[in-house]
Amino acid sequence: MVSYISDGTFEGLLTCIYEAYYRHETPEHIFCGDQIQESLLSIPVAIDTDREKADRVLNSIRHKISGDALDHAYHAFLSEIDDIGVWIYRYLKLGWKVGSSVDSYIWEDEVQVVHEASRKTVWESHRMLGIIRFRELQGGIYYAPIGPDHNIVSLVAPHFARRLSDQPWMIHDVKRDIAAVYNMKDWTIAAVRQKRALPLHGDELEFQRMWKQYFKSIAITSRRNPRLQRQYMPSRYWRYLVEKM
C-alpha cells in the first residue's frame, strides 16, 4: 500500500487524484505535508502539485460528471475530516464510471461520506455569516477573528466582499493561521500568524460597549433559554463574539 503526500491545497489533492488514476493505485491515505502519519504497512509517496494535471482533473469532473460533483468534492475537501482525500477519490472514480447520476448512489459509502462532509462545511459557512463580528483597527481596517471547525474562509469571503465592498477588511481563521484579506477591489487568501492582540481604533471600545449594552437591553430575562441559545449559536463560537467577551 502507498500513501500520497500533498501540499494540502485543493490543486494538490487533484494532482494526487490524477496520479492515482493513471497509476491505477488507490492510496491508503492522502496526507498534507505536515500531517504525515508513519506506517510500517504504507509507503509514503510525495506528489508535487502540478497545475496542468489539476486543471485536467477539474475539467474532467465538470464535463464528465457534473458541476455539482465538483462542488461536493471541493466542499468536502474543506471539511478536513480524516482521510477525506481518499474518500473524494473514490467518489470521483464512481462518478467517472456512472456519470452525472453519481449523487443518486446514496447507498455507496463514498457518496455518503463526501455528501456529509460537504453538507457540514456548507452549513457552517452559512451559520458563520451571522456570527462574524468585525472590529475596527488602527488604520481603518476591519478585522474579524474566527475559529471554525472547517476551512470555510474562502466560502464566506465572497459574501462580505459584496456586503462590505467599500471597506478594507480581514477575516482571520486563527486555528489555521490563514485569512481572507479584502482591499476594496479583490479578496485573497493569505497566511497570517498573528498571535498578539491588534491595536484597536480609538472609537472601537466605545462601539463595543454600546453593542454589549444593546444586546443586554433587548434580552428578556424571564425567557432566557441557554440550552436553546447554544443550539443556534454553539458555545465554541462565543470566544470571538463581542457581546460574549
180-236: per-residue pLDDT in tens? 999 999 999 999 887 777 888 888 777 778 777 777 777 777 777 767 766 667 778
**Could you tell me where the DSSP H helices lie in 99-145?**
109-129
Judge contact between 4 and 33, C-beta under 8 A.
no
- The percentage of the chain sitting over the pLDDT mark of 90, rounded to a whole number, equals 60
**Tens digits of residue pLDDT in 65-104:** 999 999 999 999 999 998 999 999 999 999 999 999 999 9
Q: How sure is the predictor about 33, in pLDDT bands with cuts at 50, 70 and 90?
A: low
pLDDT at residue 143 greater than cutoff 90:
yes
Give the model's pLDDT for residue 50. Answer: 94
Reduced DSSP (H G I as helix, E B as strand, rest coil) percent helix, strand, coil of the chain, to 5:
50, 15, 35
Q: What angle do CA 121, 51, 185 make, to 5 degrees?
A: 65
Instruction: Provide the Cα torsion 212, 242, 154, 48; round to 10°.
Output: 180
Mean of the per-residue pLDDT values for the chain? 88
Residue 242 pLDDT greater than 90, yes or no: no
Helices (H), the chain: 10-23, 51-60, 67-79, 84-98, 109-129, 153-163, 204-217, 226-232
Q: Calculate mean pLDDT across residues 133-149.
A: 91
Whether the pLDDT of residue 109 is over 90: the answer is: yes
pLDDT at 39: 58
Percentage of the residues of the chain whose pLDDT score is greater than 70: 91
